[in-house]
A = this chain, B = another copy of it.
Amino acid sequence: METNTMQQELFIKMVIDEWDRQNNSFNKLLSSLTDEQLSKEIAPGRNTGIYVAGHLIAVSDGMLPLLGFGERLFPQLENIFIKSRDKSGLGKPPVTELKDHLKAINTKFAEHIQSMAPAEWFKRHMAVSEEDFAKEPHRNKLNIIINRAGHMNYHLGQLIFLQ
C-alpha cells in the first residue's frame, strides 16, 4: 500500500473512532433515559431532553446528504428540531419513534462508512462549491465528521444532567 493511502487510513480511523465514541455514548444514554426523564428541562428554563435528543438526531440525519450518503431519511425532523426552538408549539414525535429513527440513520451511516474509499473522505462535502473547495480543501467530508462529533459532545454534556 502506498504511504499516502496508509496515512489517509490512519487519519480516517482517528476521526471515525472519535465520532463512534460520541455516537455510541449518545445511543447508550438515550436508551437509558425514560420518556419522563426526556420530557424534563435539562436545567431550569433550558431545553427539554427530547428537544436536545431530537436535535442531535435531526443533525445526524442532515449529515447523510452532506456526506453524499443519500437524502435525509426523516426530513420532517429539521423543521421541529433545527429550524424551530423547543417551545415553538410544534408537536414532537414520540420518543420511541425518535429512537427508531436514530437506529435507521446509524444503519445507513455504518453501510456507507464501511464501503467508502479512503480518498472519498477528502473530497468536498455537499454544502461547499467546487470553486470554494479548490481554495479550502479542508472543507471535506471528513471535516463534517470532526465538526459533528464536537457538536454531539457539546449536547451530551447537557443530556447527562437528565440522569
Instruction: Give A contacts to B, CB under 8 Å.
Output: 3-4, 7-8, 10-11, 13-15, 17-18, 21-22, 42-44, 46, 122, 137-138, 140, 142-143, 146-147, 149-151, 153-158, 161
Task: Give the Cβ gap from A106 to chain B, nearest Cβ, in Å.
Answer: 19
Query: Interface residues of A: mostly helix, strand, loop or mixed?
Result: helix
Q: Are A150 and B147 in contact (CB under 8 A)?
A: no
CB-contact partner of A10 in B21, B46, B138, B155, under 8 A: B138
When distances are taken between beta carbons in the complex, the residues of chain B under 8 Å from A46 are: 161
Q: Are B137 and A10 in contact (CB under 8 A)?
A: yes
- A129 and B154 CA atoms in complex are apart in Å by 31
If A14-B143, A43-B43 are given as contacts, then 10 extra A-B residue pairs at C-beta distance below 8 Å, sorted by A number, are: A4-B4, A7-B11, A15-B146, A21-B150, A43-B44, A44-B44, A153-B154, A154-B154, A155-B157, A158-B161
